[in-house]
Structure 1
Amino acid sequence: MESLHLPSEIITYIFSFLHVMDRKEASLVCKSWYNASQDYPFKRNLTFKFPASSSSLGFIRGLARHPRCGLVISHLDGSSVSRQVLLEVGLHLGPRLDSLALPGSSITESCLLELLPRLTSLRKLDLQGLDSLFMSGAFLSREEHRRKVYRALLNLEELNLSNLRYLSDLSFNRLTICTPGLRRLSLSGCHISFEFDPYRGCPVGSGSSALVSLRNLLNLLQKQTSTLRSLDLSRTGITPKSLRSISKLRGLRLEELNLHGCKELTDYSIEILCKYQSGLRMLDLSGCMELSCRAVLAVGAELKELRVLSFSQDWKITDKGLAELMMLPHLRSLDLSECLHVSGTELVKGLSGPEPRAQVETLSLRNCTYIRDSVVFSLAQLLGVHLRELDLSSCVYLTDLSVRAIATFLPALLVLRLGWCKEISDWGLLGMTEPTKHCQPSDREVNAEGITTVCLCASHLLRVQT
């Protein structure tokens, strides 16, 4: 089959409206469509994943034809094969590499220092879990090495240092001094001492060779306030006082903040955060179990630019304040999963109010056991054509009426999760109200562990998990 002799530029433009998987399928139609699918705009963000082995050497050389790409190389170690893999990456992809991640690896400092100076266009570097680099405390201790790495990482925008057990002030400073233009920094799961140094038995100082201190982190944030926009401190022991210190830092204008699993945070600390960082667009407060409706009210009152919000597993949160969240005009994703006291009535109230109101595309109410059919019916009507993904797993009191409301009022829905909704029957998923002679119900109940049923709903194919 041949296309209707359209210029390749027109085909490329049409392909730009397709999802990447649809574009892949379309590229199999004919040669001209394939050539259009290989256009440069479609290859700017390609990332290739492979393990370090002798068989990957030829693959790396073949990647040299791509103008830009990213790499995720796993299982690197100190062997000669791993060294050869890194050498090939530096030789053939150095100036073309946008991002580099080394998961599940145990490389040495010498291996990485042979590679980094060649990566002159690197935008994203992921070193999470690479304890072998920082265990000795000598990483980038030599001035000549720091100068080479600085020239290579001058344009680095994203640095991931998550889950590093041996990260210290000294090694942290040596690395970040080479990255003056950071926009995103992740320290998730790192051992950060915010107020008390367990090794010295005294208040936290700076320049520690054993851990990262709050004072040292504040110094970095102060130096990079003009560029830094995203910070991940999830699964750390950050205290309310420490969060207030970061929030009030002069000139800091965060757009994304991840505090997942920071269990010591209080409502007052979140109120201060919202007051001083009112430009936040993404905020993850999931697993912060001491938060209550005061934090919800603070978010709704101050964060007018918010797009993504998670209060998952915050068990003290009730419906109070949720109506204000629905009045945030830019809110697109809301996660209230495992908020056990949420019934959804305030969500309906907020969406029923005057404009502006949220146009939510992703909504998770998983394990909110107070959710009833009447709430789902109202939410389906109010969210209408905007909602793309809905998670109602373990909302055990929902019935077939909710399925009918979803099928009727959510024509754009792509993903629907209904796991453990035991009152929903096969007939509800099929859109039928009673058995017929030609189709009798099965004697076996729906498996709550995860049977996947596919149904055609409102002219769209949904992935329904029951």
Structure 2
Amino acid sequence: MSLQQLPHEVLVNLFSYLGVSDLQVASCVCRLWREVAGILLANRVTVMITDDATPAIETFRSATIPYCNWVFKEVDIHLTCEFRQEWRRVAGGVQYLGLAEEADVTPRELVTLLQSCVSLQRLSLDSLPHLLMPGTLLSDPEDRALLSKSLANVKHLHLACSRYLTDALFTRLTSVVGSLTRLSLAGCQISFQRSLHKRFYPHDREHKHPSEHVLTFTHILKYIEANAHTLKELSFGRTYIDSESLHRLAIVPRLKLESLHLMSCEQLSKSGVQLLCENQPSLTHLDLSLCSRVTDYAVMAIAYHLPHIKSLNLRRCRGITEYGLRALAQLSCLEELNISHLENVTSESVLVALGGGVGNEVTEGITYEGNGRYSLCGVNNKAALADTTNNDSEKNCNDGTEVSANSGKEVARPHLRVLNLASLPLGWQTVAQLPSLAPSLTHLDLSMCVAGVNDKSIQAVCKSLRLLRTLNLNGCMGVSDIGLAGHGLGQREPNITGTGLSLEALGIRERDPLKVSLGSKAEQIIRQEAEVKRYLEANVEEIVKSSEYGLANLAGLRELNLCGCKRMTDITLTHSFSLRELQYLNLSYCQGVGESGLEAVARYCPSLEVVMLEECGNTTDHVVLVFAHYLRRIKTLDLQKCVQLTDDSLDSLSGCRTLRYLDVSGCRRLTLGAVRRVQARIPLLLNLHYRGIQEAGGEEQNGEGVAVSPVASSRIPSPPPLFPKLRRKRGRR
């Protein structure tokens, strides 16, 4: 049976494993594949209309796929007869509609826009001051009755960053949508003080007349109480919610939250987190990132009361120390964990948090002492092993009851998929143990872990974590071709205290105690790194044979960030960079990369869509020509400060019809004429940045198309140019 004879449902199931770019390519094969790919692309692709709504009419007409997701961003929406007619044709299948970042739309136009969206499930009205400021949105009962019928299927409502949202507007918006399962009020100006609520509602306790001047948490809480049986996800990030208000939310009857986002809530303290965990044990996703007052006791409360939590974000919580981080060992069901940018933790505590053993076969347990106090205590390893052989450990909330901890020296986390350890003081031994602790990782962020990422640890990651899809090594200057290419290091552990990158520090050659260096320290480092490069070039065959220890073993990798890895050279890119599924690659500030390495990237990574080469000094016109020839899917190309580029490179890019973003700022040898030619030849190039590009006569450009004198630009900055939207408004006036 040929592929053309397979049932339609089977083809849809097969194509569901492909990404958006692969589906777009598959849709060009034949009519049948185009129909199958269109079914999947309709739900995955979001059509964004910016700057002007007039070209959207052509988009509506030319769209052969019934796209379900539409976003109007920074656009003037004027519902002319032609626009209204085309919108009605596509609005029936729209499932997500977003108006964001000052989209200019009137209340009447919004009603007209929404009344045709009978299949809408998600509505986003983020940062729309011109729409909410007058306070007349949905003030007409007929409009509310009309939208109540068309928006009955809306389950997700996003009102983030709505500065002028009031109780009255909130009541009108929530009255026209269905029973919500997700509500986002992140960044809204919410008043949590009860005294302020009493001022605006001195006698109206039932809120029969919502205020037109303020958005109060008490009013929002009444809506949550009325819809507690359906609400599962809430977002109050970037607000002034305090512990008392969070407690009031947690004790709402019949409310069983599954996800709560509290990012950057500065007033939130440990008591609020504890009361939340005690009253909402059904939570599986919790975001406490950037909450500076969250301390160790809050982490212990999470580990004690939420043993089945799946996603936890503690990024940049400055109050958490190694004492609280050890409590995370209790959470064996974690699938996503973010503990990046914690300043007061150690490498050993991170290892314990991930389920690793600590020295004397003692693991940590949590004891609840009552009155909101928790403590960690040592548990004998044998007793812990006996507890884990039984069923899941039972949790008793009475005073003095101990929860058993993860047992053994190294306890694997089979469910952990996403792990962010950026900017942590990790040792390389801790990073090397990650594959044994979390063998199913698909996303790993080790950016700025300077001491933790070296050749030995990165080889351990590449050898065992074969399911990785995203790997971030930004700023990891200790890794070199030895680790990335997979060259064997022998049995000795690398000496990370050694000076620079040398064969002695890598354990390849014995250190000569009688050898005396007569040059300076800088000369010694340059000489040692040159010896390592010559050694690798002489042992290329061994690199190819040991590919399982390098990046070549991560065949399914899709995003790779090597920004700032200055010790990497063409050897890695040439011999171990055959990543057919790689879509994102960042090689910024990699000064050791040359033409041959970048040409190998273009040849052996055909799926690349985003390439970042900022200050990659060896990027030449030939490299850009090879990119334009081989990378048929490239959408974003960053060439900032690549000083060797000339106008020939831009002429090579003129054939890249898929290019959407190009940055050539700081490329001094380019001219403005070449920039204008590439902009004219690629109509879909929406973002083109060219700061510092000069005209043939010496006039410098500021990147917005305004020519200024080089002398004048250094003294008096030019006024900012008017946006096209403001320019049109001035013309209408």
Compute the TM-score of the two structures, normalised by the length of structure 1.
Answer: 0.87
Q: Trace 1:33-432 onto structure 2 (pairs within 5 A).
A: 33-38=33-38, 40=39, 43-51=42-50, 52-63=52-63, 66=65, 69-77=68-76, 80=78, 82-83=79-80, 87-88=84-85, 90-104=87-101, 105-195=103-193, 207-349=210-352, 350-352=354-356, 353-354=406-407, 357=413, 359-368=415-424, 370-384=425-439, 386-398=440-452, 399-432=454-487
Question: CA–CA distance in 2 between the matches of 1:311 and 1:347?
Answer: 13
Question: CA–CA distance in 2 between the matches of 1:77 and 1:34?
Answer: 33
Secondary structure of 2:213's aligned partner: coil
Secondary structure of 1:177's aligned partner: helix
Question: CA–CA distance in 2 between the matches of 1:425 and 1:287?
Answer: 33
Paired residue type of 1:170:
A
Residue 49 of structure 2 contacts residue 75 of structure 2 at CA under 8 Å; is this kept in 1? no
Secondary structure of 2:91's aligned partner: helix
Shift of 1:29: 4.6
Question: CA–CA distance in 2 between the matches of 1:95 and 1:459?
Answer: 41
Residue 161 of structure 2 contacts residue 187 of structure 2 at CA under 8 Å; is this kept in 1? yes
Question: CA–CA distance in 2 between the matches of 1:197 and 1:77?
Answer: 40
Question: CA–CA distance in 2 between the matches of 1:421 and 1:232?
Answer: 34
The structure-2 alpha-carbon separation of the partners of 1:261 and 1:363, relative to structure 1 and needing over 3 Å to count, comes to: same
Secondary structure of 1:407's aligned partner: helix
The structure-2 alpha-carbon separation of the partners of 1:458 and 1:343, relative to structure 1 and needing over 3 Å to count, comes to: farther
- Residue by residue over 1:228-275, the C-alpha shift from the partner in whole angstroms, topping out at 9 and shown as x without a partner, is 111110000111100110011111111111100001111111011111
Shift of 1:431: 2.6
Paired residue type of 2:163:
R
Secondary structure of 1:100's aligned partner: strand
Residue 455 of structure 2 contacts residue 484 of structure 2 at CA under 8 Å; is this kept in 1? yes
Question: CA–CA distance in 2 between the matches of 1:309 and 1:297?
Answer: 13
Decide which of 564, 573, 594 is 1:448's aligned counterpart. Answer: 564
Compute the TM-score of the two structures, normalised by the length of structure 2.
Answer: 0.57
Residue 450 of structure 1 contacts residue 465 of structure 1 at CA under 8 Å; is this kept in 2? no
**Other-structure match for 1:436:** 534
The structure-2 alpha-carbon separation of the partners of 1:37 and 1:149, relative to structure 1 and needing over 3 Å to count, comes to: closer
- Higher deviation after alignment, 115-124 or 41-50: 41-50
The structure-2 alpha-carbon separation of the partners of 1:337 and 1:438, relative to structure 1 and needing over 3 Å to count, comes to: closer
Residue 92 of structure 2 contacts residue 117 of structure 2 at CA under 8 Å; is this kept in 1? yes
Question: CA–CA distance in 1 between the matches of 2:293 and 2:93?
Answer: 46
Secondary structure of 2:47's aligned partner: strand
Shift of 1:227: 1.1
Residue 148 of structure 2 contacts residue 177 of structure 2 at CA under 8 Å; is this kept in 1? yes
Shift of 1:175: 1.2
- Higher deviation after alignment, 115-124 or 213-222: 115-124
Shift of 1:403: 1.1
Aligned residue-pair number: 455
**Gaps spanning 5+ residues in structure 2: where?**
357-405, 490-531, 539-561, 588-733
The structure-2 alpha-carbon separation of the partners of 1:296 and 1:53, relative to structure 1 and needing over 3 Å to count, comes to: same
**Other-structure match for 2:365:** none
Shift of 1:365: 0.9
Question: CA–CA distance in 2 between the matches of 1:407 and 1:73?
Answer: 42
The structure-2 alpha-carbon separation of the partners of 1:283 and 1:438, relative to structure 1 and needing over 3 Å to count, comes to: closer
- Residue by residue over 1:417-440, the C-alpha shift from the partner in whole angstroms, topping out at 9 and shown as x without a partner, is 122223223433223354435739
- Higher deviation after alignment, 373-382 or 308-317: 373-382
Question: CA–CA distance in 2 between the matches of 1:46 and 1:28?
Answer: 17
- Residue by residue over 1:318-359, the C-alpha shift from the partner in whole angstroms, topping out at 9 and shown as x without a partner, is 233445434434311111111112334344335244479462
Question: CA–CA distance in 2 between the matches of 1:217 and 1:15?
Answer: 43
Question: CA–CA distance in 1 between the matches of 2:227 and 2:88?
Answer: 32
- Residue by residue over 1:2-46, the C-alpha shift from the partner in whole angstroms, topping out at 9 and shown as x without a partner, is 9655424343332233333333344445555444433x3553444
The structure-2 alpha-carbon separation of the partners of 1:339 and 1:457, relative to structure 1 and needing over 3 Å to count, comes to: farther
Question: CA–CA distance in 2 between the matches of 1:438 and 1:253?
Answer: 58
Residue 411 of structure 1 contacts residue 458 of structure 1 at CA under 8 Å; is this kept in 2? no
Secondary structure of 1:424's aligned partner: coil
The structure-2 alpha-carbon separation of the partners of 1:136 and 1:3, relative to structure 1 and needing over 3 Å to count, comes to: same
**Gaps spanning 5+ residues in structure 1: where?**
441-445
Paired residue type of 1:448:
G
Shift of 1:153: 1.5
Question: CA–CA distance in 2 between the matches of 1:423 and 1:348?
Answer: 21
Secondary structure of 1:102's aligned partner: strand
Residue 46 of structure 2 contacts residue 67 of structure 2 at CA under 8 Å; is this kept in 1? no
Secondary structure of 2:345's aligned partner: coil
The structure-2 alpha-carbon separation of the partners of 1:260 and 1:56, relative to structure 1 and needing over 3 Å to count, comes to: same
Paired residue type of 1:351:
G
Question: CA–CA distance in 2 between the matches of 1:166 and 1:459?
Answer: 49
Secondary structure of 2:97's aligned partner: strand
Residue 480 of structure 2 contacts residue 567 of structure 2 at CA under 8 Å; is this kept in 1? no
Shift of 1:177: 1.5
Question: CA–CA distance in 2 between the matches of 1:183 and 1:409?
Answer: 39
Question: CA–CA distance in 1 between the matches of 2:218 and 2:474?
Answer: 46
Residue 60 of structure 1 contacts residue 88 of structure 1 at CA under 8 Å; is this kept in 2? no
- Higher deviation after alignment, 395-404 or 19-28: 19-28
Question: CA–CA distance in 1 between the matches of 2:244 and 2:566?
Answer: 43
Q: Percent identity?
A: 28
Residue 200 of structure 2 contacts residue 211 of structure 2 at CA under 8 Å; is this kept in 1? no
Secondary structure of 2:323's aligned partner: coil
The structure-2 alpha-carbon separation of the partners of 1:342 and 1:150, relative to structure 1 and needing over 3 Å to count, comes to: same
Paired residue type of 2:11:
I
Larger RCO (CA within 8 A; separation ≥ 6): 1
Paired residue type of 1:391:
D
RMSD of aligned residue pairs (Cα, Å) = 3.2
- Higher deviation after alignment, 302-311 or 371-380: 302-311
